[in-house]
Structure 1
Amino acid sequence: MNLHWKFWVPTCVHVGEKIVNKKSGIFQEFGRSVFIVTGRRSSKMNGSLDDLTDALGELGLEFSIFDDVEENPSFTTVEKAANECRDFGADLVIGLGGGSPMDAAKAVAILAANPGLSAQELYDSSNYTSALPVIAIPTTAGTGSEVTQYSVLTSHEGVKAGFASDLAFPRHAMLDPRYTLKMPKDITISTAVDALSHALEGLLAETSNPLSDVLAQDAADKIKRALPKVLEMPDDLRWRQELLLASTEAGMVIAQTGTTLIHAMGYPLTTIKGLKHGIANAVLIVPVLSHISLTEPERVKKVVEVFGSVENLRSFLEKVGVYDVKVMISDKEAHDWARRAIESKHIRKTPGFFTETDLVRIYSSL
């Protein structure tokens, strides 16, 4: 844990049913033109896009919709959206959807405010000093992107990586649990265990602090209690809201701590093997913690306190279906990915001692 630390989340969070309508006046605080960044289907199916456009229409605000964000948004997509946003003359960008649309919206807000800037240049924050304001409306309970300064994009070469900038923090986040009711079971699971990974990695990280630990423990406890209930009673709004709050709490955690080796190792499982991001993280949690426990058992004990033990955590993940997805990894892939992960910035935030051989072994055990 850091001896010198700060805790800063500049996002104002609004929670409740029909919150977009009840707090719609916020939208006109930023100007008259709104650029909505969303995915291809889910915001239309869960009613969130209709709620948002109705609210904007009642206020007399102009809006343009970019609804072509794919899962794991690409450089090409955010650059295209930014050009449309700039041409539209937007005063405000709204990210509506899961992590991909919200991450894309953050990138669009910076690119649109900095003509000539490429998506690759987002990874060096000294390249830009301004951004359009962003409001985030999550429709999944997992990424926590509505309260972080991070945006994860996929390069032209297919490499998934995140950039961080305080300019990317949303000004407001609007959480309505109704939008999560139509999430399919597999998305419910993958997003919830993504939030769990954020909470546990926040507890694990060398950059953790007392406030982030409190939020992380609470988020993990919420997910432990709520996820089985949601899988049993998917239409129960109370438990859906618990997962949504846990996701936001865990997002606040990683906004302070960042993520660890678990995320670095998970990226190729998503971009190359097609595992959903949350599942890619979740299958790595137990083997990574087991390795760390060999040298830092007390640290791992703190991380799994809500579950009681690493084995109990493994049982929970098994119960909610994390291990139902199987992945085949070749020896070459394991070595290539291990080399990339061992060189990542995430390794510096991860306690314990890892060699490239250790990471190959972990990949091979999946």
Structure 2
Amino acid sequence: MLYNMPTKLYYGKNIISQHKDEMICGEKALIVTGKNSAKITGALDDVISVLNEFKIPYVHYDEIGENPTYDMILKGRDICLKNECDFVIAIGGGSPMDAGKAIAVLTANPDLIPDDLFDNNNYDVSLPIVAVPTTAGTGSEVTEYAVLTKPNGRKSGFKSNLIFPDVSFLDPIYMLKMNKNLTLTTAVDALSHAVEGLLSKKSTPISNILARESIELIYRYLPKTLEDLENVEYREKLAIASTLAGMVIAQTGTILPHSLGYRITIHKGIRHGQATAIFLPLIAKEVKKENPKKVETLEKIFGTLDNFEIFLKKIGTYNFNIVFTEEELELFSEEVMNSSHIKNTPGNYDKNKIKEMYKKIAKI
């Protein structure tokens, strides 16, 4: 068993001001954000305040959208190179953090193209990375993963120890502005990470402990948070749960629900967290057939796997309708069967079983 989590993580309210010197990882920063969240949460102001205090110049690149594309990454790299920035501060949800990781590698290796990121033998250096999450979802602040959207529309992740952030600042205050829909979809993304890590063939005693705590926190506090969005105590619990779940997948990776969910995010526009979480009960039941011990933690928390599905429905995870054509089912099942997620998922899967899973969550 190996446990590796080299990121230095600071957690707490107003945590940046308490450890501001550790944000300074170079002489000029590229700040990577989306258009809104970093600004409205106060995170961007806090970061800029620290940079100004230490007289560190910076450039702000704020054009990262949901599911970052190659074009977004390349533009960020070009800005970073042109302005001679030597470290990256990524502020926001998973998309800005993942984009910041990709930009950090491509800037340090300017001869590479985005496709080269998916083979980490192509590079052995990255700019330092600072992560400031503003959502409780992806856990990217503590993982060696980044997910990009390729020109063909497919989402694909790359992995490298070089993109573990050097330091991350987790402040629940930055999450108080999240609306109900964003709170839901990001939290069930974190839940997916924890559950998938628990079920994965790569699970370890340590990752299982982290996964169990994450799942219990989300089970207890997500329904409360959805009813009281500005409750700091509840936000703290979800922030911790998300980061714990990130630590889990940093060891185990993700499994089939992620691959299944990617197709309906790309082709049907369903947000990633919900698109993944709706498949969790289905996969858990398949895993139970092969290895009942793998689902014991879920059954202790929720009572039964059916109750797990009822929980997801009650909080609104399934609040959409999807229609699939037979052509889509054929395409999606083929792509899922060719994905890397399948080998780490206990159970037996073929195209027909994958098609049946899609049919269970859709109207045909």
Deviates more, 1:251-260 or 1:34-43: 34-43
Match of 1:229 in 2: 224
Report the Cα offset of residue 60 of structure 1. 0.7
The answer to whether the aligner puts 1:171 opposite 2:166 as a matched pair is yes
Match of 2:37 in 1: 42
Which digits, 9 at most, give the CA deviation of each residue in 1:10-41, with x for residues without a partner? 0111011111222111122x222011110011
1:351 partner SS: coil
Q: Take 1:31 and 1:12, find their aligned partners in 2: how far apart are those partners?
A: 16
The answer to whether the aligner puts 1:24 opposite 2:23 as a matched pair is no
Listed as ranges, the gaps of 5+ residues in structure 2 are none
The answer to whether the aligner puts 1:322 opposite 2:317 as a matched pair is yes
Match of 2:215 in 1: 220
RMSD of Structure 2 on Structure 1 (CA): 1.1
Q: What percentage of aligned pairs have identical amino acids?
A: 42
Report the Cα offset of residue 72 of structure 1. 0.2
Which residue, 51, 58, 62 being the options, matches 1:56? Answer: 51
Match of 2:8 in 1: 12
Which residue, 277, 291, 296 being the options, matches 1:296? Answer: 291
Whether contact under 8 Å (2:23, 2:167) holds in the other structure is no
The answer to whether the aligner puts 1:278 opposite 2:268 as a matched pair is no
Q: Which one-letter code corresponds to 2:167 in the other structure?
A: H
Q: Take 1:361 and 1:27, find their aligned partners in 2: how far apart are those partners?
A: 48
Which residue, 247, 252, 256 being the options, matches 2:251? Answer: 256
Whether contact under 8 Å (1:109, 1:131) holds in the other structure is yes
The answer to whether the aligner puts 1:102 opposite 2:100 as a matched pair is no
Match of 1:85 in 2: 80
Write the mapping of 1:94-243 to structure 2, written as runs, cut at 5 A: 94-243=89-238
Whether contact under 8 Å (1:175, 1:244) holds in the other structure is yes
Q: Take 1:97 and 1:229, find their aligned partners in 2: how far apart are those partners?
A: 23
Q: Take 2:28 and 2:2, find their aligned partners in 1: how far apart are those partners?
A: 35
Which residue, 330, 340, 344 being the options, matches 1:349? Answer: 344
TM-score norm. by structure 1 comes to: 0.97
Q: Take 1:27 and 1:232, find their aligned partners in 2: how far apart are those partners?
A: 34
Q: Take 2:37 and 2:201, find their aligned partners in 1: how far apart are those partners?
A: 37
2:148 partner SS: strand
Which digits, 9 at most, give the CA deviation of each residue in 1:38-84, with x for residues without a partner? 00111111111111111211111101100000100001110110111
Number of aligned pairs? Answer: 361
The answer to whether the aligner puts 1:245 opposite 2:240 as a matched pair is yes
Listed as ranges, the gaps of 5+ residues in structure 1 are none
Q: Take 1:21 and 1:329, find their aligned partners in 2: how far apart are those partners?
A: 50
Q: Take 1:274 and 1:94, find their aligned partners in 2: how far apart are those partners?
A: 28
Report the Cα offset of residue 296 of structure 1. 3.3
Which residue, 283, 303, 306 being the options, matches 2:301? Answer: 306
Report the Cα offset of residue 128 of structure 1. 0.7
Report the Cα offset of residue 145 of structure 1. 0.3
TM-score norm. by structure 2 comes to: 0.97
Whether contact under 8 Å (2:179, 2:229) holds in the other structure is no
Q: Which one-letter code corresponds to 2:274 in the other structure?
A: I
Report the Cα offset of residue 303 of structure 1. 4.0
Whether contact under 8 Å (1:204, 1:303) holds in the other structure is no
1:71 partner SS: coil
Whether contact under 8 Å (2:212, 2:297) holds in the other structure is no
The change in CA–CA distance for 1:342 and 1:53 in structure 2 (over 3 A counts) is same
Report the Cα offset of residue 305 of structure 1. 3.1
Whether contact under 8 Å (1:229, 1:239) holds in the other structure is yes
1:39 partner SS: coil
Deviates more, 1:268-277 or 1:292-301: 292-301
Deviates more, 1:271-280 or 1:323-332: 323-332
Q: Take 1:210 and 1:43, find their aligned partners in 2: how far apart are those partners?
A: 36
1:272 partner SS: helix
